[in-house]
């Protein structure tokens, strides 16, 4: 009688033993895999509720901080007091979308190490500080504000950095967004709306968008001519109203459809100052495709500029593209046709020229600071490579100063500073041109390199030029930098 009951109990015990085996397999064997699965909501929920380090600008203004969650005393919420102003520069940490920008690149420093991961336990045993560390940026919120105000409601980007060190002082992409709307589990709709917005507010235009550089590319063409000793600033070129494209009936005209300086011939420096297309188209053909391509590459075209964020490669077509097509070469020499550059690429050109020909590694984070306020890491300025010789840099600088002193870029001039630059007004498929100012300001001790791009002419629309729209924005940034 008892035997079948014993067998039934045995069956249940076997079942219970299998439960033990299965739950051990799940919790221990597969545990780490399930715990770290990106679909496991705990991964983000737990991390996001922990305290993270503060991010401040060069003057100590708070750009990102963790504040106690009023609904849950053991948890923190991330806050970005400057909102859209620093959204692209700083990034954000969202429960739903994960970490972006510096929040992602410096996640290891910013996060609290009071998780119970093996490496954190080891750190704890070694007596290391487990509290989150903070970041001090090279960014200056006042200069950033000036750049953002300058762009206003128009689309575009401003990036400015210390040419001697590579320290980024302003980093603005417009339109921007407020990270506060994207941080929570409930932010999916807000994220979708930003994603679908045709103005692309989530796009970081500084590194993620390429534009035709237009006349600002004359910096590259001039550099190639000087480096190849094909010309000096004083070399004279025929001053014609129309440059006939080789092998074509089409012509290249100057902006005002006139000759550069009243006919005859004209110095290269004057042609640069007045941004004469005719002279630079002819100069490009004289330099040749290989020479232009090589100089463009030395400034950084053809590969992403090294940076903590993903950077689009700027493009100068390879020399094969111009074989038996000198017309295309002439147009490319003035930054039209298939030439494309990111704002970061253009500021790199200005910075290399301002730093005697050497391009410095651009960076945003100046210092990592621990919870006690002692500096644990400092970014040392690092040379990337030489873009032009010291002599060429000096010659280009002189020509750029004339542009701002009495050329197309007078709108960028600032009292008390030596300002140098080059304007650009690039034709696009759109009705209005994309307008540029690329240059730098010198206060006697430091040099701030800048690239300003305003899409589709900004407030002035089809009538806009780099000198009328972009140069004044650069001026405002220089003023804020001078006063800070």
Partner 1 sequence: MTRNAEAVLVAGACLLAALGVTLVNLAQGSSLDAQVGLTLAVFVLAFGSVFVATRRWAPQSSGLLLPLVALLAALGFIVVYRLDRELAVLQRWWILIGAGLATLLLFALRNTGTEVFRRYRYLFMVSALLLLLLPLLPLDWGFPLQGKLVNGSRLWVTFHLGGLQIQFQPGEIVKILLVAFLASYLAERQAALTMMTRRIGPWSIPEPRQALPILIAWVASFAVLVYQRDLGASLLLFATFVALTYAATGRAAYLAAGAAMFGVGGIVGAGTFAHVQSRIQAWLTPFEFYDTTGYQIAQGLFAMGSGSLSGAGLGLGRPDVIPFASTDFVFAVVAEELGLAGSVIVISLYALLVAVGFGIALRSRDLFRKLFATGLTFVVGLQAVLIIGGVVRLLPLTGITLPFMSYGGSSLVANFLIVALLARISHEERA
Query: Contact residues for partner 1 (CB under 8 A)?
Result: 1-6, 8-9, 12-13, 15-16, 18-20, 22-24, 26-28, 30-35, 37, 39-42, 45-46, 72-74
Query: CA 209 to CA 479: how far, in whole Å?
Result: 27
DSSP class of 425: E
Could you give the 3-state DSSP secondary structure of residue 257?
Answer: coil
| Contact by Cβ (8 Å): 327, 248 | yes
| Closest CB to partner 1 among residues 75, 384 | 75
| Closest CB to partner 1 among residues 41, 398 | 41
Cβ atoms within 10 Å of 157's Cβ, excluding its own: 29
Closest CA to 325 of 278, 284, 279, 275: 284
| Closest CB to partner 1 among residues 35, 128 | 35
Residue with tokens 């979708």: 192
In whole angstroms, the minimum distance from the beta carbon of 36 to partner 1 comes to 9
In whole angstroms, the minimum distance from the beta carbon of 183 to partner 1 comes to 17
| Closest CB to partner 1 among residues 42, 128 | 42
Q: Of residues 93, 94, 138, 215, which has the active-site annotation?
A: 215
What are the beta bridge partners of residue 462?
Answer: none
Residue with tokens 């989150």: 132
Residue partners of 263: CB distance under 8 A and separation at least 6: 239, 240, 241
Residue with tokens 């045709």: 198
| Closest CB to partner 1 among residues 6, 257 | 6
Residue 119 annotated as catalytic: no
In whole angstroms, the minimum distance from the beta carbon of 180 to partner 1 comes to 23
Could you give the 3-state DSSP secondary structure of residue 236?
Answer: strand
Backbone angles phi, psi at 54, to 5 degrees: -90, 150
Token pair belonging to 167: 């320290």
Catalytic residues: 215
């Amino acid at each position: 009688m008892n035997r079948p009951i014993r067998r039934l109990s045995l069956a249940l015990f076997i079942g219970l033993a299998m439960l033990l085996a299965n739950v051990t397999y799940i919790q221990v064997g597969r545990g780490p895999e399930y715990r770290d699965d990106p679909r496991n909501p705990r991964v983000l929920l737990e991390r996001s509720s922990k305290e993270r380090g503060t991010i401040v600008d060069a003057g100590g203004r708070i750009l990102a901080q963790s504040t106690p969650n009023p609904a849950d005393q053991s948890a923190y919420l991330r806050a970005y007091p400057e909102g859209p102003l620093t959204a692209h520069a700083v990034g954000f940490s969202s429960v739903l979308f994960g970490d972006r920008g510096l929040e992602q690149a410096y996640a290891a420093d910013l996060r609290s190490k009071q998780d119970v991961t093996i490496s954190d336990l080891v750190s704890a045993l070694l007596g290391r500080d487990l509290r989150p560390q903070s970041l001090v940026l090279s960014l200056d919120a006042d200069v950033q504000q000036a750049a953002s105000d300058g762009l206003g409601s128009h689309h575009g980007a401003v990036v400015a950095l210390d040419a001697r060190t590579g320290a980024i002082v302003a980093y603005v992409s417009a339109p921007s967004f407020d990270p506060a709307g994207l941080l929570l589990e409930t932010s999916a709709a807000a994220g979708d709306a930003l994603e679908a917005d045709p103005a692309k507010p989530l796009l970081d235009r500084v590194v993620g968008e390429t534009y035709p550089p237009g006349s600002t590319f004359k910096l590259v063409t001039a550099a190639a001519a000087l480096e190849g000793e094909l010309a000096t600033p004083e070399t004279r070129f025929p001053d014609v109203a129309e440059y006939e494209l080789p092998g074509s009936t089409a012509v290249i005209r100057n902006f005002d459809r006139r000759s550069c300086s009243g006919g005859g011939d004209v110095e290269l420096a004057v042609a640069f100052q007045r941004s004469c297309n005719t002279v630079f188209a002819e100069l490009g053909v004289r330099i040749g495709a290989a020479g232009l391509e090589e100089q463009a590459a030395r400034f950084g075209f053809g590969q992403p500029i090294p940076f903590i964020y993903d950077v689009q490669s700027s493009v100068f077509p390879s020399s094969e593209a111009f074989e038996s097509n000198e017309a295309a070469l002439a147009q490319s020499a003035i930054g039209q046709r298939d030439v494309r550059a990111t704002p970061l690429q253009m500021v790199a050109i200005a910075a290399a020229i301002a730093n005697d020909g050497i391009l410095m590694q651009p960076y945003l984070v100046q210092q990592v600071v621990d919870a006690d306020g002692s500096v644990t890491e400092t970014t040392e300025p690092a040379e990337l490579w030489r873009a032009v010789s010291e002599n060429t840099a000096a010659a280009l600088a002189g020509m750029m100063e004339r542009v701002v002193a009495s050329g197309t870029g007078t709108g960028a001039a600032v009292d008390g500073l030596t300002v140098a630059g080059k304007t650009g007004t690039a034709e696009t498929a759109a009705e209005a041109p994309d307008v540029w100012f690329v240059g730098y300001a010198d206060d006697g001790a430091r040099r701030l390199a800048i690239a300003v791009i305003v899409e589709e002419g900004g407030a002035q629309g089809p009538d806009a030029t780099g000198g009328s729209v972009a140069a004044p924005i650069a001026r405002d940034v220089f003023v804020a930098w001078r006063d800070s």
